């Protein structure tokens, strides 16, 4: 399926799902208006030359809505898009009732994201920086468009993901996280702007070291209780 036909099909899916929502049309218009002078392909290629891990592609709102449904997290939960691009997913998550935050390395994308959110009056936050280096805001669900990530980059990223609170939900594209720290509870194929991805949802679970520390703490507590008795 060529790019134009795929884009048409995605648009049809989006309209069937959200065509009745005024906010969806406002978001689409704001994205077009604020980025109409930006050559997305040029920005994407320039960013990829500086950092090969970067690839441009957006998660359609219908795909995001499906992910949020599968996450079993209700509206009001905190959502983080790691590599948010123009901010479409972040603003859509906000409209769907989630407390949304986006992190993006490429300044040109982030400028568009902030203008889009500002023009729509949405209370979302954006942070510029490398996801391996800058602090992450607390989030109950984190989304990673990880299809193009190298093995080296993924191994570094796992170390940061393992620092997330227990039971945090992590969503990846075409990437299986290690069973030692994450329990996969859903996997399915979903459409994105450049084709389909193997979308996987994981929950952060205890590492052995964390279990050992917890057990040691329980033992010390038990000893203090015995002495008190």
Cα distance between residue 14 and residue 25, in whole Å:
10
Residue 227: per-residue pLDDT: 58
Q: Which residues contact 72 (CB under 8 A, 6 or more apart)?
A: 169
pLDDT tens digit string along 88-109?
999 999 999 999 999 999 899 9
- Residue 166, pLDDT > 80, answer yes
Query: What's the pTM value of the predicted model, to 2 decimals?
Result: 0.86
Look at the alpha carbons of 214, 80, 10, 39 in this order and tell me if their dihedral is positive or negative. negative
Token pair 């170390």 is at which residue? 159
Question: What torsion, rounded to 10 degrees, do the Cα atoms 119, 120, 124, 126 define?
Answer: -30
The 8-class DSSP code of residue 138 comes to: P
Residue 195's domain spans which residues? 3-228
Q: Which residues contact 139 (CB under 8 A, 6 or more apart)?
A: 78, 79, 80, 101, 168
Instruction: Give the pLDDT band of residue 112 (cuts 50, 70, 90).
Output: very high
What mean pLDDT comes out for the span 55-82? 94
Percentage of residues in the chain having pLDDT higher than 70: 84
CATH number of the domain enclosing 144: 3.40.50.150
The structural domain count of the chain equals 1
- Residue 118, pLDDT > 70, answer yes
Residue 24: per-residue pLDDT: 98
Instruction: Give the pLDDT band of residue 27 (cuts 50, 70, 90).
Output: very high
Q: Which residues contact 90 (CB under 8 A, 6 or more apart)?
A: 79, 81, 84, 100, 101, 102, 113, 117, 124, 126
């Amino acid at each position: 399926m060529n790019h134009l036909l795929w884009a048409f099909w995605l648009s049809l899916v989006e309209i069937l799902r959200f065509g009745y929502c005024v906010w969806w049309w406002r978001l689409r218009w704001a994205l077009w208006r604020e980025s109409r002078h930006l050559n997305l392909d040029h920005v994407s290629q320039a960013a990829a030359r500086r950092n090969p891990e970067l690839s441009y592609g957006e998660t359609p709102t219908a795909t995001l809505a499906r992910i949020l449904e599968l996450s079993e997290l209700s509206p009001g939960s905190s959502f983080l898009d790691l590599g948010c691009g123009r901010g479409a997913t972040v603003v859509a998550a906000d409209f769907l009732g989630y407390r949304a935050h986006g992190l993006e390395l490429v300044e040109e994308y982030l400028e568009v994201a902030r203008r889009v959110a500002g023009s729509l009056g949405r209370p979302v936050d954006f942070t510029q920086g490398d996801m391996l280096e800058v602090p992450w805001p607390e989030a109950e669900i984190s989304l990673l468009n990880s299809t193009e990530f190298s093995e080296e980059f993924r191994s570094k990223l796992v170390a940061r993901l393992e620092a997330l609170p227990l039971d945090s939900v992590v969503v990846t594209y075409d990437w299986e996280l290690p069973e030692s720290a994450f329990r996969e509870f859903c996997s399915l194929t979903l459409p994105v702007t450049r084709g389909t991805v193997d979308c996987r949802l994981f929950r952060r679970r205890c590492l052995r070291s964390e279990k050992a520390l917890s057990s040691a703490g329980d033992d010390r507590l038990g000893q203090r209780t015995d002495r008190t008795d």
